[in-house]
Each structure stands twice: as structure tokens, then as C-alpha cells.
Amino acid sequence: MTFEEIRSRAIAEWEALEHSTKPRILVGAGTCGLAAGAEAVLAAIETELAQRNIEAIITQVGCIGLCYIEPLVDIIKPGHPRISYGNVTPEIIPRLVEDYLVNGNPCPDLALGTIGDGRIEGIPSLFELPVLRPQVRIVLHRCGFIDPESINHYIANGGYSGLVRALGMKPEEIIEEVTKSGLRGRGGAGFPTGQKWDFCRRAPGTEKYIICNADEGDPGAFMNRSLLEGAPHSVLEGMLIAAYAIGASEGYIYCRAEYPLALKRLAIAMGQMEEYDLLGDNILGSDFSFHLKIKEG
């Protein structure tokens, strides 16, 4: 199967989800949400829907960045904006189901905000909240919106298109583009990424490796964990592009054992990549081969 065929199938699946006639319920299931009680909330949702014979699509998503008001539950009724509810407990679920799903009252007193087009009286736009308004999401823009354990969700939202484009370029062209972009390391020194890649490509030797350090160097920030839990394919696609650019055929991801959810989702993502010919020998029919291992620390 070509990547275009894979992409077409993924988009069809995503569009069917987006235009479903059933309500959709998204539960924040990153470590922050789980620590705040998301599993109990998820169980309450499933129980309440079953008791009322209501069919809905329930999706566990990564952290959207509002860890301090987890558990987060978002509800999308067909034809209506997505509504986010924060600090949700199992006790609140019957009211949300009764008032909103059954009777059409969106419970503005419980809502944080809406996402997407359309507005609901008494509920602000979520991304107009002071904490979110200044943000421009690039790496994290899929977190909280896709199922992190679905490669099709990632591909339908532009995932792996960058890799496909890169494979049609010369490695030197990729490095030049990264250099022109001004992309820099985010570890503190701000070293130009294009220069790093150029040094690696020019380094002597035939065996080169890409190492992803998913250990947190900034205590309390948990940036790596959030990305790996919410959009693991973003990291893996970046590793593939970097590997192709510098001439590496093997890679390692170091992730601490205290991040079991990140490790789980990485393993699932890598298995999906192998099924779609995005990892291993002759990726997508090209001359580029790349093998990847996870090192748990």
C-alpha cells in the first residue's frame, strides 16, 4: 500500500468520526488526568451511557495543557461546538448526560469553553481564556485532539507528510531548509539544529545513530512526557527525518521507567509504523532504512 492510499484511508476514517451522528466524548487520559481520577470518570461515563442506552464514541486523548483542572471531559454533539468541562468527577457525569446529551442544556456553569466554530451562549471560547490565548501550538497542536494510540488519526491530521516530502529531497537540502528555518535546540543553549545535523552528516564513519532523550532535564516541566503521551508519532516522525538527513540507520529512545504510559504509547506507535512500512528496511519503498529501539531507564 502506498502512502497516498494509507493517507486516503486515514482521512476517510477521520472524516467519518468528525461527521458521526453519535455524540463524541473525549476524556483527558494523560498522566495528569489519570492522577486526578480520569479512570473513575471514564468508568462513570460508560456506566451512565449503558444505563440509558445511549450510543456515543468515547476517545481517550492526551493532555491539552490544563493539567490543573483535570480530569477534563469534552463533549461533541452532532451539529454543535465541542465543549470542555474541567474538574469532572464521577458524580457530575449523570448531570452532563441528562442535561446535555438528553435535554440539550450544555451546563454553562460547569463548562470551561468551546473549541472550534460556533458559540454557545454563556460559554466562552476555550482558546480565548487568559492561559491559552497567547499560545501558538506547533509541536503540541495535536495533543488533546487525536487518539494518541491511532496512527490513522495522526496521518489524517498531516502526520508523516513531512517524512514523505523529506524522502523526495536530498539530505543536504533538508539540512539547508532546517538551517534556514532558524530551528534551535530547546535545552537552554539554543544551538542551531541545522548545524547539528550538518556536523553529524559530515562526521566520519559509516554507522550513525539518532538518540531521543525522553528523560526530563527540567524538573517539574514534564514536556517530554506530555508529548509522548499525547502525540508519540510526532516524535517518531521527527526522528525519521533527522535520521535520513544525517545518514543514520538506527535509533534509540531513552525513556524513564516512571513514565509507563509514555512507554506504552511509544511501543504501540512503533508497531503501527512497522505495519505501514514507516519503520524498518526500505521505508515506503525508498532506499532509506531505519530501526528503532526503546531503552527503559
- Model confidence pLDDT, tens digit, residues 66-101: 999 999 999 999 999 999 999 999 999 999 999 999
pLDDT at residue 214 above 70?
yes
Domains of the chain: 3-128 (3.40.30.10), 158-296 (3.40.50.11540)
What value does the mean pLDDT take over residues 202-227? 81
Q: How sure is the predictor about 215, in pLDDT bands with cuts at 50, 70 and 90?
A: confident
Q: How sure is the predictor about 217, in pLDDT bands with cuts at 50, 70 and 90?
A: low
pLDDT of residue 177: 97
User: 226-243 burial string, b = 16+ CB within 10 Å, else e?
Assistant: bbbbbbbbbbbbebbbbb
pLDDT of residue 1: 86
pTM: 0.94
- Model confidence pLDDT, tens digit, residues 120-150: 999 999 999 898 999 888 888 999 999 999 9
What value does the mean pLDDT take over residues 225-229? 90
CB-based burial label for 155 (10 Å; 0-12, 13-18, 19+): buried
Cα angle value 65/70/76 (rounded, 5°)? 80
Non-local (6+) Cβ contacts of 78 within 8 A are 20, 21, 22, 23
> What is the DSSP code (8-state) at residue 19?
T
pLDDT at residue 218 above 80?
no
